[in-house]
Structure 1
C-alpha cells in the first residue's frame, strides 16, 4: 500500500487502495483455486485480517463518512506512525489525574499515545469540519481497518455491516479488555463486536488483527509462548490480563469463537523495524534493494562503534516518547555504508532485546526461545544476530508470513467450518529453522552486547529525556 508524507510527521494511506487490494487478492485466489479444479461453491466463508496494523483511516462514500480509526484528511487516512495528534495527546494527558499517561491502562491496557485510535478520532473532530458535521448529522461511522473492509465486503452503503472483533477493538483506547466490550465511561458506541455474520453475499466466520493472526499462525496458544513479527512488535501470550510495570501493553490476543475465552498478551510495540531498511533504500540510497542490506552488513561484520536509533516516529515500548527522533552517532572517517547497514540491523535486534527483557520482568515467565515471522526474517544475518543478542534460540518457520497462515487456521476452526481444532494437537507442527546463540552468555561478546545496549539507552535518555534505570553487579552493567 502506498504511503504518503504530506507534512513532517504525517503519514497517510488511501483506504480505497486498501479495499481494492482486498478485492484483487480475492480475485487472484479464486483464479488459482479454479486452476486447481476446486469448486468455488465449496468456499465456506471469509476471514478478513487487517494485515495493515490494527489502527486507522477515513473515507467518504456518498453521504456516509466512514472513519477508520487512524484517519484524517479525505480521501486519505493516517496510519499508526502518524504524529499529528501529538498536541491532542499532550492535552489529554494534562487533563488526566496526576497528568498520568497511564490513566486509562487499568481499563484499556494502553497508555494515552499517538499510536492508538481514540486520539485520531479526537483530532478529526477538532480539526476536520466535514467529519464534525457528519457526526452531528448522525451519518458518520467509526471503526478500525477490519471494520472498513467488512463494511465494504458486506454491501457498503447498501446494507454494509459495521462490526469489529476484540483484537482490533482493544487497540482503540476505548475498549475495556476485562469486560470485552466498549467502555461507556470512555465513549458511547453502537458498533458491534464481531461474533460471526452471514448474509446473501458474504459469509464471515472470523476476524483478527495482524499480530493476533500471527500468534495463531505461530501456534502461540500457551502461557509463555512469544513471537516477534519484524516490523511492528513482540507478543507474549498470557491467560489473564497482566498489568505491565515496564512499558508494555496489555492487549486481547484473540477470541476464537463466541463461547471461547479470550486470550491475552503482553505486547511491546515497535514503531520502526523493517521500515529502517526501506529508509536506507528510499531516503538515503545506501542500498538498491532491501535484500542488499544483508550483504553489506555481512561485509562489515560489526558496526565499529556506529549506533543507530531509528526513532523516525518517536519511540514506542518501553519508552512511549513521541517527541523522540532518529539518531545515528559514533561516525568516524572509517565508517562506511556497510557499518550503517550493520548498525541498522543491530538496532532492530536491540529493540527486541529491550522488549523481551520487559516481558520477562512483567510476566515472571522467562522466555527460553523466540518465534519470529515477517519479511525481515529472510535475512539470516539478522536472525543470527538476534539470537546472539538475546542469548536464546530464535525459531523461524519456513512459512514467514505467519499472519496469513493464522488467518487460514482461524477460519478453518470457526463455527460452521470446523475443519480442525486449534485447542488440541490436531494441527501438525510448523516446519522451522532454529538459530542458536553462537556466543557464550557469560563471555566477552555477550557482555559487549549488554554494554552496547546500555549505551543505546543512555543515548536515548540524553537526547530525549527518557527515564532509564541501571544497576551494577560484579563490576558489570545490567539493564533493568
Structure 2
C-alpha cells in the first residue's frame, strides 16, 4: 500500500526532498546545497546538471534514511525556484549553457530598450508582469543570441526551454516537456487571462514557439519517473512554482488571505480570487494556482534580498557563523540605532523595480558595530514587507488593514525577526506548525490529485498555528522608524539616474 507522498523542493541555494505521511506530517527530509556562479557583475548562474544531481541525491537519501521504498509512494510533487531559465538539446538532454537564475540582471538593457519603445503596457496587460530582467523572456532571448547556433536550432525544434520544473520533469520522466500554469505565468510569455502562450509576446521577444513546454494544471498528470532512478516508477501529480506552492501550503485559498515566504528573497502573495486584478503600485498580477482549468489569481510583491542579507552577514562580512546567529546578534544592538540597510544587491524589486541601483548602509556612527549591522539586515526585510503590504492595500479594495500575515521560510524560524516583523507591520504574524510550506504545498497537490489528501477546504481546516506574534511597538515609534527607512530608500534611488542603454557596456 502507498503510504507516503514525496516532494522535491528545488530552491535557489539548495534542493530538498521530503516525505509526508497521510496526516501531512513530515516523515523525513534530505537537503543538499547547490552552487551559484557569478561570472560578471549582476550575473547569476546555476549548473543544470548540478541541480539534477542534487535531486537524485536528496530523493535517494530521504528514501534510504526512512527505509521507504519507491513502491510506498503514492505520488510526487515538484516545486521550484521560478523564472530561472534552462535551454537544452531535445535529443541528448544536455543544457546549451548554464541556467540563468531569476536574480540575474544581464538583460537589463534589453528591458530598458523595450520600455523605451513603449512595449511594457502590452506585457503587463497580457502577463500581469513588468519588463524586468527577473522574468524568463529576455533570459531566453539572451541565450538564443549568445550561444552560437542556438537560435537556428530553436527554430528547427531541436531545443527545449524550461523553468526548473520543466527541466526536472524532462529528466525524471525521460522526455516529458511540460510545466504548470504558475511557472508559465512567470515567463512574460504567457497570457494569464486566456491561459495560453501569447503569439504577440513571442514575436516581441523573438522566441520560437517550438521551444515552449505544454502548460497544465497544478494538480494533475505529469508522467512517471523512470523506474531505474529510485527503484520503481513514481507518478508525478503536482507542480507549482515555489511561492504558489507556499500559498497552497499555507492554505491561502480565500480571497484576502496573504502569505510571505522568507527565503533567499521574500515573496508576498495576496489571494484576489477568480479575477485578475491589475496593480497601480508596481505589484505583479499572477496566477496563484490552477485547478481543473480554473485559475485563481494573486497580487504579488517580490523582494530580491531577504535571507540573502543574512548570507551576506555570514559569508560577506564574517559577522556570524550560522544564519541562526543573526537574531541573537541583532538583539544586542542599541534599540536607538539609526542604521538602515537598503539591500539592493541585485537592484530593488517591488514596488520600486530599480534593476540598476545597488545597496547601501545609512546612519553609520563611530560606535556602529556588528550587532547594528545584523539588526539593520533583519529589519530591512521587515521594512520591505511593510512596503509590499501597503501597496497591496492600495491596489485591492478587499485587502483588510487588519489582515494576519502567514509567514514561512527559513527566516520565519527566528523569533526575533518575526516579532520585529509584527512590530514594524503593526499586524499579527502567524507562523505555521509545518514551516516547510513550499514542500508541503507540492506534496498536497500531488496527494490530492491521487485522492491521498482531502479537498482544499478540508486541508485549510487542518492548517495549524505554531505561534502568533502580536505587535508591541508603539505606533509613534513605528512611524519614526518607517520614515527613516523611506528616507534611506529615496536617498539611494536618487544617487544616480538610470543610464541610457547606449551609454552602457555589457560585462
* Structure 2 residue aligned with 1:227: 259
TM-score, normalised via structure 1 length: 0.87
The counterpart of 1:428, out of the listed 454, 459, 462, is: 462
1:464 shift after superposition = 4.5
Q: Which runs of 4+ in 1 moved over 6 A?
A: none
Contact 1:308 1:343 (8 Å CA) reproduced: yes
Q: Distance in 1 between matches of 2:214 and 2:458?
A: 30
Classify 1:61/1:179 alpha carbon distance in 2 versus 1 (closer, same or farther; 3 Å).
closer
Match of 1:49 among 65, 79, 91: 79
Taking the aligned partners of 1:63 and 1:378, their CA distance within structure 2 comes to 42
How far is 1:458 from its partner? 2.1
Counterparts of 1:11 and 1:431, CA distance in 2: 36
Contact 1:270 1:351 in 2 (8 A): yes
Judge conservation of contact 2:169–2:222 (CA < 8 Å) in 1: no
Alignment of 1:13-412 (within 5 A): 13-34=46-67, 40-50=70-80, 52-59=81-88, 63-64=92-93, 66=95, 74=97, 76-97=98-119, 101-155=120-174, 160-187=175-202, 188-189=209-210, 191-195=213-217, 196-198=221-223, 201=226, 202-230=234-262, 231-239=265-273, 240-256=275-291, 259-302=292-335, 304-364=337-397, 365-367=399-401, 368-412=403-447
Matching residue within 487, 495, 498 for 1:455: 487
The CA deviation at 1:244 is: 0.2
Would you say the 8 A contact 2:85–2:163 is kept in 1? yes
Equivalent residue, structure 1, for 2:23: none
1:61: Cα distance to partner? 7.6
| Contact map agreement 2:48 2:95 (CA 8 A) in 1 | no
Per-residue Cα deviation, 1:131-156 (whole angstroms, up to 9, x for no partner): 2242244311111110000000001x
Number of the residue aligned with 1:71 = none
Please identify, of 221-230 and 428-437, the stretch whose mean Cα deviation from structure 2 is larger: 428-437
| 1:477 counterpart residue number | none
Q: Is the 8 A contact 2:89 2:158 kept in 1?
A: no
Contact 2:409–2:437 (CA under 8 A) maintained in structure 1:
yes
Deviation of 1:205 (Å): 1.0
- The separation in 2 between residues aligned to 1:426 and 1:103, in whole angstroms, is 36
The answer (yes or no) to whether the contact 2:83–2:183 under 8 Å persists in 1 is yes
TM-score (norm 2): 0.83
Report how far residue 211 of structure 1 moved: 0.5
Could you tell me how far 1:57 is from its partner in structure 2? 3.0
Q: What is the DSSP-based 3-state SS (H/G/I as helix, E as strand, rest coil) of the residue aligned with 1:300?
A: coil
CA distance in 1 between partners of 2:452 and 2:133 (Å):
39
Q: Distance in 2 between matches of 1:59 and 1:426?
A: 39
Residue number in structure 2 paired with 1:472: none
Per-residue deviation, 1:306: 1.3
Per-residue Cα deviation, 1:115-142 (whole angstroms, up to 9, x for no partner): 0000001111222214224224431111
The CA deviation string for residues 360-414 of structure 1, in whole angstroms up to 9 with x for no partner, is: 1111212421010000111111111110110010111132221011111111211
Residue-pair matches, total: 443
Q: Tell me the SS of whatever aligns to 1:434.
A: strand
| Structure number with higher strand proportion | 2
Distance, in Å, in 2 between the alignment partners of 1:388 and 1:54 is 32
- 1:84 is displaced (CA, Å) by 1.0
Greater CA drift, 137-146 or 310-319: 137-146
CA RMSD of aligned residues (A): 2.1
